[in-house]
Chains A and B, each alone.
Chain A
Amino acid sequence: TIPSPNFLHQLLEGEQDEGQLRTKVLTSLQKEQANRGKHDCLNTFSIMCKMADQTLFGLVEWARNSNLFKELKVDDQMVLLQSCWSELLVLDHLCRQVTYGKEGCIYLVTGQQIEVSTIISQAGMTLSSLVTRTQDLVSKLKALQFDRQEFVCLKYLVLFNPDVKSVQNRRQVEQTQERVNRALMEHTQQSHPGHSDKFGQLLLRLPEVRSISLQVEDYLYQRHLLGDLPCNSLLAEMLHGKHS
């Protein structure tokens, strides 16, 4: 089917509101801190995990509210999300950096900006490499003038992945992926006619997103083994799902 002009518009309508997400994350962190004694502060890594956890809740809610996703049974929804949750987190982070991030800074979901140099000076080797790789990808996306329509298409392409094992309704997933792929191609051709291969350049970023997401999962899993990862969280459950 040829995507209708408002197909992309419908996808955009399902996007979370950044301000609402920011409020939700800040409220959750304040509640967490209020439950602790004044001198028992959350360490930086735990705060980052809480932010990621709340963002992940938001992404699951986003997927769940999508009409395309609703067409799948819950078992298929679970398998797809279990497979791509960390890619969705990375894409969400990348889009936030392209939209709001200042040069040399990382823009957090709480609205705060942290100098990349500050993180690098305190982080270990793995996290430093992750930050550097991600910032490089942000630069590439900025150079490509990555916009919100393209971002939402990439999220759907990552979510509706027919290659995920044990997907029952593979054909449905394939059809949605093809439809979104076509919408992305037409959008890049219409909105950036001068950039002949923007569509191809955007798709080339997906393996990089996948690679970074796998490194993020390994990093989080290592920290989990050290007992650093807050338990009873969606983040921990999704991590276990993949490593069990």
Chain B
Amino acid sequence: KKKDNALLRYLLDKDDTV
């Protein structure tokens, strides 16, 4: 399941400062 939600996790976890 975790693999399935990789994009969602990326979108929620991404670092805006980069």
Asked if A148 lies at the interface with its beta carbon under 8 angstroms from chain B, I say no
A interface SS class:
helix
Asked if A220 lies at the interface with its beta carbon under 8 angstroms from chain B, I say no
Instruction: Name the one of B1, B8, B13 contacting A234, with C-beta atoms under 8 angstroms.
Output: B8
Q: How many residues of B contact A (CB 8 A)?
A: 10
| B8 neighbours in A (Cβ, 8 Å) | 60, 78, 81-82, 234, 237-238, 241
| B5 neighbours in A (Cβ, 8 Å) | 78, 82, 237, 241
A74 x B13 contact (CB < 8 A): yes
Whose C-beta in chain A lies nearest to the C-beta of B1? A244
Roughly how many angstroms separate A181 CA and B15 CA in the complex, as a whole number?
Answer: 32
Asked if A57 lies at the interface with its beta carbon under 8 angstroms from chain B, I say yes
Q: How far is the CB of A52 from chain B (nearest CB, A)?
A: 15
Roughly how many angstroms separate A204 CA and B12 CA in the complex, as a whole number?
Answer: 31
Roughly how many angstroms separate A240 CA and B4 CA in the complex, as a whole number?
Answer: 7
Contact digits for B1-16, partner A, Cβ 8 Å, 1 yes 0 no: 1001111110111000
Asked if A134 lies at the interface with its beta carbon under 8 angstroms from chain B, I say no
B4 x A234 contact (CB < 8 A): no
What are 9 A-to-B residue pairs whose CB atoms are below 8 Å? Answer: A60-B11, A61-B11, A74-B9, A77-B12, A82-B5, A234-B7, A240-B4, A241-B1, A241-B8
Interfacial residues, chain B to chain A (CB-CB below 8 A):
1, 4-9, 11-13
